[in-house]
Structure formats: structure tokens, C-alpha cells
Structure 1
Amino acid sequence: MPGVNAVPDISPMPRHQHLIVTVYGLYARAHDGAFAVSDLIQLLSDLGVESAGVRSSVSRLKKRGVLVSLRKDGSAAYRLAPGLEDVFRAGDERIFSPHRARKGDDWILTSFSVPESQRHLRHKLRSILTRIGCGQVSPGLWIAPGNLADEVSQQLERAALMEYVDLFKAAHLTEDHIRSKVGQWWDLPSLDALYADFIDRHEPVLQRWSELPPSEPESPEYLKQAFADYVPMVTQWRRLPYMDPGLPEEYLPGDWSGLAAEALFAKLHSLLGPIARRYARSVVED
């Protein structure tokens, strides 16, 4: 579809590498960013991943520069690579405290021109803008709600691409057409389908936990089950806020699944997050 910011084709079931990144993002930073290999294998086994799968995925993440090896208390360990702390901190806000723009807010426009001899940079630039959640107005002009201006600027500066880019704050002057234009700039049906899949998978989880009696003891199995439900839920969710830039509700379809998915995520995060953290801490500190 011309002009549409296509939603990446992602598997609804988290891959092992994605689960590992989630575990590090949620829990490793409280432990100097590092996990002993044995602790990581234990945590991932509670998510249904065999030790061979953990070691293979860790090896791939190491090659990608996400993890680095070290010794921790005399044991083999892996930690987040230096420089990723800022990335994870920014991710915390985008994932756990999403901001939805309001009708009438400014937009940020990203205009770029890359010489033909450096086409690889053009692809890199488009990939970054897509990952942030920008929509494509035309091949060299991309748009996003204005509250993403700092993130767009920071990402492009980190990638050393600002010399090819001009950034503008803008207001849309043809308000009557903005809703149809939003449908051209973003692939809303595909994104809605991902939100609907999230609801289908995790609404039964909320129902199951909501039906537990208030006096349910926090046994090791209780804590482990919260961890096993929470981490895959966050793993599936954490990419969605980056595909959805937080468009104003007035510009979204009337039956938009994203709003219900946001509410579901917030409830599960509030309910299971603290319990899952206690379980992870019990494994790492035991």
C-alpha cells in the first residue's frame, strides 16, 4: 500500500531471544545488569525454554552485541552490553507509560535526502523511523505525533544520520481529511490485528488470576506461575507501543482494539508485575 508505514511481520509467540531480552530488561538492571548462566537457565526453564535453547539464543545475542560475557561470583555470567542502559530506560517509558497524543497537538515531520551512492543509509534511516512508529507521507517525508520529537532526534543522532535530515514541527491545516490521511500513513488494520491477538491470548490470563481467592497463599508455585504468565505477556506487548505512535483517539477506527489492549496490559502489569519480580529475585538471590 503506497505511503503506508507497514507493520513488521512478527510472530505472536515470543522467540527465545525475545524472552531473554525481556528478562534482562525487567530484572537484570537490579543486579548490575548481569545474570549467572545458571540463573538465566533457571528463569528461562520456567518459561518453557530448554537449556540448549537458552545457550544458543545467548550466543546469538552476544554476536549481535546485546550481551557480553563475564565472571560473576566465580561463575560464568552475561550482562547487558555497555551503552544499552539508555536504550532500556527509554523503552521503559514507551512500554509502561505510553502517551497518546490529543487532537490538535503538533506533528513532527522528518524530511530526508540521501545521495544515491549511500543508499544503505537511506534504508537504515527508514528502518529507524519505522521502528519508532513514524508514518510515511512520501518516500522522503515521514510523520509522527509531536511528542515523539525527542525520540526521533535522539535515535537519528545516535545513528549519525542527522546530516541527512531536517525536522519540523507542524500543524495539519486540512483537519477534515486527517483521519483518512492517518489511514494512509499507517497500516492500522494490521496493527489492530496484532492488538486483537494480544487480547485473545492474555484476556484469559487476567480472568484466571481474577478468579483466585483473596487468601491464595504466595507459594513458590504461585510466584512461578505469575512469572510464567507475565514475561511472555510483556514480550508480546513491548513491540506494540513502538508500532503504534500513540495517535489521537479521534483519528482511530471506532472499533480500534488498541485501547482495550492498553487497558488489559495495564491491569496485568499491575497484578502480575510485582509477584513476578519477587519470583525472579528469589531465583537470582537464592
Structure 2
Amino acid sequence: MTTLNSATEGAESRSTQPRAFIVTIYGLYAREVGGWIGVSALIRLMAQLNVDAQSVRSAISRLKRRGLLDARRVDGVAGYEPSQQAREILDEGDQRIFGRQRAELEDGWLLAVFSVPESQRQLRHALRSRLSWLGFGTTTSGVWIAPRYLYDETREVLERYQLSEYVDLFQADYLAFGDIRELVGEWWDLESLQHLYDDFLTSFRPVLNRWRRRRTDNDADAFADYVRALTAWRRLPFLDPGLPPELLPHDWHALRAATLFDELKDRLAEPAHHFAKSVIDEHPGRAAAAEQP
């Protein structure tokens, strides 16, 4: 489950986009039922998020044009399933979003050194975007840095997108002459990332407090709140490289935000799943789709 926008944009503006909600829904529920979800089921799910049918259809069309959704009719019922590219992105997102890792200082660093001809600006932009999405910071224009533990994921992504021939990867230790803690603040835009964590805390603390006070559960409400929370949260683990704690600001809010998300997930994921499955299963074409390989 992944997407990337400028780190200076508010989490709320990103999370309310219908396309982002649809990606979250497919990431959470589609793969476990074979991938296919009927349009009518998706419209009903999105209605819980206050998104109207026309906006759903428009968002689906954009995702299809981007090669992320494939149209397929099952027993005459229109529906969509993630493309192979989308499945790879969703699998990659699961690993980062739900299996967060934090580096240790003694692990060292991973350097990506690259050179792309001036005539291939689009390729250079794609490479920089992938490195940013992996969590790399910038030391100079052609030398990017990340915690050492990101090596396997970096190699896999660069090979998948056929960018590896332009990059050399090095394992490194910082020896001299600056203050590594100050340099980290130059290599990564930690201030903007801190604002995004603050936005998440501000938006979803009241949601968690409301659920703590509730005496009865409501699966539809749980679905809506969980999809909103995950949509707002899921890009943050990609923007945050998981730097060693001793290199981060003393008032770093990532842990508080992660704890908040984890409690929301623990409270809401199961009832949200029950609601989504009931909607998907009851709509035309679901049984036939489940029988297909």
C-alpha cells in the first residue's frame, strides 16, 4: 500500500482522496478474496467514507489508467482487481507499514551513488523518487544515504524498476569530521516529517479516545475509522527511514504516532474486516470470482 506526495502537504488532504481510500481497501481486503471486488461492493464500502458513487468511478478510472487496477467481469458483473504491478507495491507496503524496523547506530550506512545522463531527466527523476520512497536522504546530488538495513529492499526495488544499472551501492561507516547528529538533520527533512507525525496525532487521538469510551462496537464505523487511519498512516513509514534513536530530536513523535496507530489497529482491524467481508461477499459475482483461479 503505497503512494508519495510532498512531505510538506498535510496528512488530512492526502488521506481524503478517494483514490487513496481505494488503494487502502484493496490492500486490506482484496488479496485475501482473490483480488477481485465488484464495483457495486466498492461503492458501498466507499459510501461509509462519505465518498459518492461518481467519485468512486472516477477514482477507479484513474487507477486503471495508471496501471494499478485491471477490469474484469465475473458472471456479467463489473469489477476490478490489482494489476501485477499493484500487487508488488501492496506486498512491499505491507512489509514497511506493518513490519516497521529501526536502525542501530553500529549497523552503519548504505550509500547509493548514481549518475544519469542529462538527456534522461525522466529516468533521473524516477530514480530519485524511488530512493526517496525507500527512505534515503541526500548528502549531495548524486550520493544518497540510508540506514544499512535497507539494503535488501533497495536492491529489490532498483532491480524491479530496471534502475540498478545506474546505481552503485556501498556499505559505509561515518568516521569524521562533522557531528553525525547535525548532519542527519541536513540529509533528511526531519522537521517536515515531524509535522506529519503531529498531524496524525492531532487527527486520530480523538478517534482513539472515542473508541475507548464506546460501550458497543459497530463494524461499519470501525471500517470507516480504520481505513481513514491507515490511509493517513501508510505513507509515513516510507518517509521515515527508521534512523537510530540517538540521532533523532529529543521530542521525536514517531513512537507516539506508531503507538497510536497500533492501538487503533488492535481495536478496529477485526470489526472492520467483518464489515468489509460482509459487503464484498454479498454482492453479485463474488462467489463466482472466488471459484476462479
Structure 2 length-normalised TM? 0.90
Q: Could you say what secondary structure the match of 2:110 adopts?
A: strand
Which of the numbers 23, 28, 31 marks the counterpart of 1:29? 31
How far 1:258 moved relative to its partner? 1.1
C-alpha separation in 1, matches of 2:81 and 2:163: 29
Which of the numbers 124, 133, 136 marks the counterpart of 1:134? 136
Letter in 1 for 2:199: D
- Residue 273 of structure 1 corresponds to 269
How far 1:176 moved relative to its partner? 6.8
C-alpha separation in 1, matches of 2:71 and 2:133: 28
Matched, 1:231 2:233: no
Matching of residues 41-190 of structure 1 within 5 Å:
41-174=43-176, 177-190=179-192
How far 1:280 moved relative to its partner? 0.3
How far 1:44 moved relative to its partner? 0.3
C-alpha separation in 1, matches of 2:237 and 2:274: 26
- Residue 286 of structure 2 corresponds to none
How far 1:86 moved relative to its partner? 2.6
How far 1:281 moved relative to its partner? 0.5
How far 1:65 moved relative to its partner? 0.5
Which of the numbers 225, 232, 254 marks the counterpart of 2:250? 254
- Residue 285 of structure 2 corresponds to none
How far 1:10 moved relative to its partner? 5.3
How far 1:73 moved relative to its partner? 3.5
Q: Could you say what secondary structure the match of 2:146 adopts?
A: strand
- Residue 3 of structure 1 corresponds to none
Runs of 4 or more consecutive aligned structure 1 residues displaced over 3 Å after TM superposition? 8-11
C-alpha separation in 1, matches of 2:119 and 2:85: 30
C-alpha separation in 1, matches of 2:56 and 2:161: 30
Q: Could you say what secondary structure the match of 2:168 adopts?
A: strand
Letter in 1 for 2:223: F
- Residue 259 of structure 2 corresponds to 263
- Residue 290 of structure 2 corresponds to none
Which of the numbers 264, 279, 283 marks the counterpart of 2:279? 283
What is the Cα-based RMSD across aligned positions, in Å?
1.5
Letter in 1 for 2:52: E
Matched, 1:242 2:244: no
How far 1:245 moved relative to its partner? 0.8
Shift of the 175–36 alpha-carbon distance from structure 1 to 2, 3 Å rule, reads farther
- Residue 207 of structure 1 corresponds to 209
C-alpha separation in 2, matches of 1:205 and 1:7: 23
Q: Could you say what secondary structure the match of 2:106 adopts?
A: coil
Letter in 1 for 2:30: A
C-alpha separation in 2, matches of 1:174 and 1:262: 33
How far 1:84 moved relative to its partner? 2.7
Higher alpha-carbon deviation: 30-39 or 9-18:
9-18
**Structure 2 gaps, min length 5:** 1-5, 283-293
C-alpha separation in 1, matches of 2:236 and 2:32: 25
**Structure 1 gaps, min length 5:** 1-5
C-alpha separation in 2, matches of 1:269 and 1:11: 18
How far 1:212 moved relative to its partner? 2.0
C-alpha separation in 2, matches of 1:51 and 1:248: 45
State how many pairs are aligned.
275
Q: Could you say what secondary structure the match of 2:192 adopts?
A: helix
C-alpha separation in 1, matches of 2:84 and 2:138: 33
- Residue 12 of structure 1 corresponds to 12
How far 1:11 moved relative to its partner? 4.9
Matched, 1:191 2:193: yes
**Percent identity over paired residues:** 47
C-alpha separation in 2, matches of 1:116 and 1:83: 28
Letter in 2 for 1:253: P
